[in-house]
Chains A and B, each alone.
Chain A
């Protein structure tokens, strides 16, 4: 493990990726503190309003505390478009560590201090608003909570299943092996995304958002275990012929104990690689599902369902700030991929995928 950390530190790109991920996870951990608005705060009059411009130089050319103007919505009868222009009559100054809505940090400490806020009466939307006039920046943070954790949770379900399934199949061999492997082959023979959308679609519609989140996690886990189980089985087949396994058997250890204590730990380096490389897959799968409207549902935010707005042409052309979740998914997945590749290179010297 020390070796792993030492070699990992030498790879600059991986270190950068690691910091990017740490940054993202800190952002979502402190989402309530950083975001100026609550998840479901909405101001219909600001529907689709663009990001606020932040000024530090006054029109007179002097430096000033950062300030911004509110948007005024105006329907242009010539172009038939909703237009926004700044209301220059009133400046609203930005404040750091100001008071806002009340929340519980980490679910424990009750407070109303936020990283930043704005003068009374001002509206600060760093990344504009969505169709319901909800703050895009705040929702990105709340959405990240779902998008960035669902992969890990799915992993916690699918990997133990895959390990035990593959372990049993490889260890016992014979008929058990044939039957178990045929079942996993059948699961793998169904195109994963088809399976995903169908599983998501048969969920009853009257669930609470927490239940839905849990079930989507289970569904994601369901598509990941089979391929993993097959590789574990292959490794177990060769590990079980080792002398120490025979020794354990001869002193009367139970089959279950041998699998759990003696065989599966030997697969750990593969498991670490597989974990690092499969989190991004889960993140992508969740975003795809939510993008289609089958995953996390409104009013809950996830990066995928926020991108649902990108399905409309007018949005992607006139309101590019609605595309930010897509870039965040890209950055998160890229960072995971780079870290996963580096870990694989270190643990598996034969692989030469990366330089």
Chain B
């Protein structure tokens, strides 16, 4: 089966899941006793027409299941309503999604770049001091609450003044030239990324180590070594490829974990990402924004899973054969 047919099939398969996600989210949010327009009504700067328009748009005068279809219709059209402050939800979400993607992709990149070699070294030096140290450190890394770690790093930033405290850009960002803009963003990204990389590095390096150990024990590797192929070549050409494949499957899950872990980290660092947006929306009971954020977050997760499946198909001939 050519790869593009597979991609098409995979996308089709995820459509019912996404529809179910929207149904679950919608009814969960409608379970709450909050009037979705309460905040709008209290806001004097919002005109009566807007409220009437919103009532109609959401179908609030109709039963709940009809409201869902109203919501779905608008959502497909790209209209997610207005926030309690009167802005359009879709433009707000768009900006935040990009920021969260920037953070997550950055984290995944560094986790893989550091985690894979660490796992490989540990596996090749099975039961050595390095191996034990890595195991211990990764246990510790997985046990730190992300928000607590973030708070500790904030103290560090405050005391040393080496890193900016919170946000994604400095106050004078718009007056900078391109190079300064980029360094400014990198500077701000460093601490939140550091927290998230530390947390996901732990599990990734352990997985890599375990996978490589498994593969090194397999018959084909032993056979290759017995045949006299240099060990280095066996490891990097034959064993590594099969050890990495399961990690690609995990990539989707990793992305999911990142979205969740990022929410708290974003909150502590005041990073303008999707997690913090949802959190603020939840606190202000901004129903439209919560609903949109939840659905968009789920979309990102499903897309992440699809991408990891496709990658696996490209790298692993065994999956293609099935």
Residues of A participating in the B interface, judged by any CB pair closer than 8 Å: 182-183, 185-195, 197-199, 201-202, 204, 280, 284, 287-288, 291-294, 307, 310-311, 313, 316-317, 323, 326, 329-331, 333-334, 337-338, 341, 350-355
Central interface residue in A183, A188, A294, A331, by most chain B CB within 10 Å: A188
Contact A202 B155 (CB under 8 A): no
Q: With A191-B301, A192-B260 in contact, is A310–B31 under 8 Å at CB?
A: no
Contact B297 A191 (CB under 8 A): yes
Contact A189 B145 (CB under 8 A): no
Contact pick for A189, options B17, B28, B209, CB 8 Å: B17
Interface presence of B283 (CB below 8 A): yes
- Kindly report which residue of chain A lies nearest to residue B142, judged by CB atoms: A337
B residues in contact with A355, CB < 8 Å = 126-127, 131-132, 135
What class of interface size applies to chain B in its complex with A?
35 or more
Contact A313 B158 (CB under 8 A): yes
Contact pick for B260, options A194, A201, A291, A334, CB 8 Å: A194
Least Cβ–Cβ distance between A67 and chain B, in angstroms: 33
Contact B142 A198 (CB under 8 A): no
Interface presence of B285 (CB below 8 A): yes
By DSSP majority rule, is chain A's interface helix, strand, loop, or mixed?
A: helix
Known: A194-B263, A352-B209. 13 other contacts (CB 8 A): A190-B298, A191-B263, A191-B300, A194-B294, A197-B282, A198-B290, A201-B285, A280-B143, A316-B155, A317-B155, A330-B143, A334-B143, A352-B210
B residues in contact with A187, CB < 8 Å = 24
The docked-state distance in angstroms from the alpha carbon of A337 to that of B141 is: 11
The docked-state distance in angstroms from the alpha carbon of A350 to that of B214 is: 8
Q: With A307-B147, A330-B145 in contact, is A189–B21 under 8 Å at CB?
A: yes
State which residues 48-70 of B face A: CB under 8 Å.
none
Residues of B participating in the A interface, judged by any CB pair closer than 8 Å: 16-18, 20-21, 24-25, 28-29, 31-34, 126-127, 131-132, 135, 139-140, 142-148, 151-152, 154-155, 158-159, 206, 209-210, 213-214, 256, 259-261, 263-264, 267-268, 275, 278-279, 282-283, 285, 290, 293-294, 297-298, 300-302, 305
B residues in contact with A351, CB < 8 Å = 210
- Kindly report which residue of chain B lies nearest to residue A285, judged by CB atoms: B260
- Kindly report which residue of chain B lies nearest to residue A283, judged by CB atoms: B145
A residues in contact with B29, CB < 8 Å = 198, 202
Contact B144 A330 (CB under 8 A): yes
Contact A292 B260 (CB under 8 A): no
The docked-state distance in angstroms from the alpha carbon of A288 to that of B158 is: 23
The docked-state distance in angstroms from the alpha carbon of A223 to that of B209 is: 29
Contact B143 A333 (CB under 8 A): yes
By DSSP majority rule, is chain B's interface helix, strand, loop, or mixed?
A: helix
A-B contact pairs, 10 of them (CB 8 A): A183-B20, A186-B20, A187-B24, A191-B260, A191-B301, A198-B29, A198-B278, A311-B151, A317-B158, A329-B145
Contact B139 A334 (CB under 8 A): yes
Least Cβ–Cβ distance between A275 and chain B, in angstroms: 17
The docked-state distance in angstroms from the alpha carbon of A353 to that of B214 is: 10
Contact A292 B145 (CB under 8 A): no
Least Cβ–Cβ distance between B169 and chain A, in angstroms: 20
The docked-state distance in angstroms from the alpha carbon of A280 to that of B295 is: 28
B residues in contact with A198, CB < 8 Å = 25, 28-29, 278, 282, 290, 294
A residues in contact with B148, CB < 8 Å = 307, 310, 323, 326, 329-330
Contact B155 A186 (CB under 8 A): no
- Kindly report which residue of chain B lies nearest to residue A192, judged by CB atoms: B260
Central interface residue in B34, B282, B285, B290, by most chain A CB within 10 Å: B282
B residues in contact with A202, CB < 8 Å = 28-29, 31-32, 34
Contact A288 B159 (CB under 8 A): no
Contact A191 B135 (CB under 8 A): no
A residues in contact with B300, CB < 8 Å = 191
B residues in contact with A204, CB < 8 Å = 33
Kindly list the 7 A-B residue pairs having the minimum CB-CB distance in the complex, ordered from nearest: A202-B32, A193-B260, A186-B20, A334-B143, A326-B148, A333-B143, A191-B259
A residues in contact with B283, CB < 8 Å = 201, 293
Least Cβ–Cβ distance between B37 and chain A, in angstroms: 16
The docked-state distance in angstroms from the alpha carbon of A198 to that of B140 is: 29
Least Cβ–Cβ distance between B307 and chain A, in angstroms: 14
A residues in contact with B256, CB < 8 Å = 188, 191-192
A residues in contact with B259, CB < 8 Å = 191, 193-194
Contact A337 B143 (CB under 8 A): yes
Contact pick for B20, options A182, A284, A333, CB 8 Å: A182
Least Cβ–Cβ distance between B165 and chain A, in angstroms: 8
Contact A191 B140 (CB under 8 A): no
